[in-house]
A = this chain, B = another copy of it.
Amino acid sequence: MPDAPTAHLFDSAIALQHQGGDDFAGHTSEAYWNMIGPFGGATAAVVLNAVLQHPQLLGAPIALTVNYAGPVAEGRFTARARPARTNRSTQHWWVELVQTDADGSEQVSTTATVVTAARRPTWSAADTPMPAVPAVHSLPRSVRPGNVAAWLARYDVHAIQGDIPQVWEGQATADSLSRWWLRDDPPRPLDFAGLTAMADVFFPRVWLRRATRVPVGTVSMTVYFHADSAQLAACGTGHVLAEARAQAFRNGFFDQTGLLWSADGHLLCSTHQIVYYKE
Determine whether the beta carbon of B108 is less than 8 Å from that of A84.
Answer: yes
Interface of chain A, main secondary structure:
strand
User: Given the interface contacts A85-B108, A247-B267, A255-B270, does A123 sit within 8 Å of B226 by beta carbon?
Assistant: no
Q: Is A58 an interface residue (CB 8 A)?
A: no
Residue in B closest to A228 when the chains form the complex, CB atoms: B251
User: Given the interface contacts A127-B249, A257-B257, does A122 sit within 8 Å of B69 by beta carbon?
Assistant: no
Residue in B closest to A253 when the chains form the complex, CB atoms: B62
In the complex, what residues of B have CB within 8 A of residue A196's CB? none
Determine whether the beta carbon of B122 is less than 8 Å from that of A252.
Answer: yes
Which residues of A in the span 210-261 have a Cβ within 8 Å of any Cβ on B? 210, 219-220, 222, 224, 226-228, 245-253, 255, 257, 259
Number of copies: 2
Q: How far is the CA of A111 from the CA of B92 in the complex (A)?
A: 8
Nearest chain B CB to A188 CB, angstrom units: 24
Determine whether the beta carbon of A248 is less than 8 Å from that of B270.
Answer: yes
Q: Is A262 an interface residue (CB 8 A)?
A: no
User: Given the interface contacts A62-B219, A251-B228, A274-B63, does A111 sit within 8 Å of B94 by beta carbon?
Assistant: yes
Determine whether the beta carbon of B113 is less than 8 Å from that of A65.
Answer: yes
User: Given the interface contacts A62-B219, A111-B94, does A127 sit within 8 Å of B276 by beta carbon?
Assistant: no
